[in-house]
Structures are given as C-alpha cells and as structure tokens.
Chains A and B, each alone.
Chain A
C-alpha cells in the first residue's frame, strides 16, 4: 500500500518537477539552457549523500540489534547510492562540457564523489565474496559505516579547497533566484519520493530473497 502511494506520488511529482525545471524556472543569463541540468544533478548529489548515511545508519543498527532487517535496508541504500552517484557524476560531466569546456576535472568535489561511487560498488563486491549470511551482514555493516566518512569532506570540499565546482546554490547568502530555488526544491522532493518508492520495492524483494535462500537451504538439507 505504502509502495503504491509512493509510486503514484513520484509519478505526479516528476511531471510537476519537469514543468518547474523546464518551463517555470527562468533562464540563467550566463549559462543558458545547460544550467537546467542542476535541477536534477544537485538533488541526485544530495541523495547520494543520504544513501551513504542511510547505509551507515543501517550498519550501526545491525551491529547493535543483529536484526537482518537492517542489513536489508543497507543493501537497498547502497543500490540507491550507486544509482544517485552515477547520475550525479554523469549529469555533472554533461553540464561541464559546454560550461567548462572539459568533461572532467580532478578537483576535490568531483574526485570525492567518484570515491563515494566506488565505495558503493566496493560494498557489493565485499558482499559477493562472503558466502556466510551472518558474517556477510556483519562485515558489510562495518564497511558501510566507513562510507559516511566521505560525506562531510565531500559536502564541504567546495569551501575548504579551491575547486572548479560551482559554490553551493542553496546555502550561503541567497545567491539564487526565488523561482529557481522553488524549482530546485520541487525536483528534490520528486527525486526523494522516487528514491523512497524504489527503496520500499527493494526491501520487499530482499524479504523474498531471504525466504528463497531459507527454502533452498531446507531443500538441500532434505536431499
């Protein structure tokens, strides 16, 4: 039921977000059309940080409670992390080409975001190499907590170091047009609801996966 409501809400919000980003928001004087990429690039970047924190939180909860439901949440968060990090990096690169003249710059923000993406992939590689369910969940939880370290450095990297990446648009002195700000909030909400929907679907699948694993074990024990 929750999943269905989130699914419908995400569809409606996505259509509204597209209207806000492509029609409602005014044109930016210097960058022209490519600036409209930020309406989905920025929320994807923020959601990649949220995924890392969700993964870390689920890891901590698993280590405290030893309940596999936290491990399932961690898997869902890590998969969303891969999706959001990949989208933020690729759209950032597409934006950079017409604005900077290059696809990629090895500055602090972009490199730390790439590291975050590689961390999510490493999380799945670690899980794939551990056959024992309990051991896999425990080690993955510890590894998942480490991912949170990247986020504050990544978030403040554009202030701490001289980077090519633009300065923050949502915090720090109201440097954005109110209509642009509203469009950005709407697209952020739409993508957040979409990610919440995908997470609920993924959690439902993880429960079925565990039941399949348990029944397979039972069948093999009977043979």
Chain B
C-alpha cells in the first residue's frame, strides 16, 4: 500500500510542480514583457 501511495504521489506531485513552474514562469515573463514594452515606448518618444 505504501509503495502505491509513494508512486502516485510522485506522478501527481511531479505534474503539479511542472504545472506550477509553468504558471510562475509565464507570470514572470509577462511582467518582464510589460517592463520592456514601456522601455521601448519611452525610447521611441521624440526627445525635446
């Protein structure tokens, strides 16, 4: 019984961690993308 619980925990734990890492990476990248878009917008504005 304990081996079954251990094996299923590995499978579902691994899928959960993989999914969580994907969402965390997406959130981080979207934040960075917004920052970079702001920087590009500022840089493309005509300077006085």
**Chain A residues with a Cβ under 8 A of chain B:** 33-34, 36-37, 40-41, 44, 79, 83, 86-87, 90-91, 94-95, 97-98, 194, 198, 201-202, 204-205, 208-209, 211-212, 215-216, 218-219, 222
Contact = CB atoms under 8 A, between A and B. Distances in A.
Contacts of B19: 198, 201
A208 B14 contact: no
Interface of B: 1, 3-4, 6-8, 10-11, 14-15, 18-19, 22-23, 25-26, 29-30, 32-33, 36-37, 39-40, 43
B13 to A, nearest CB: 10
Nearest to B11: A40
B44 to A, nearest CB: 9
B36 A212 contact: yes
Given A91-B7, A212-B33, A222 B18 contact: no
Nearest to B26: A205
Contacts of A37: 3-4, 7-8
A219 B40 contact: yes
Contacts of B37: 215
Contacts of A212: 29, 32-33, 36
Given A211-B33, A216-B36, A219-B43, A40 B8 contact: yes
Nearest to B6: A94
A98 B19 CA distance: 31
B3 A87 contact: no
A83 B29 contact: no
Contacts of A97: 3
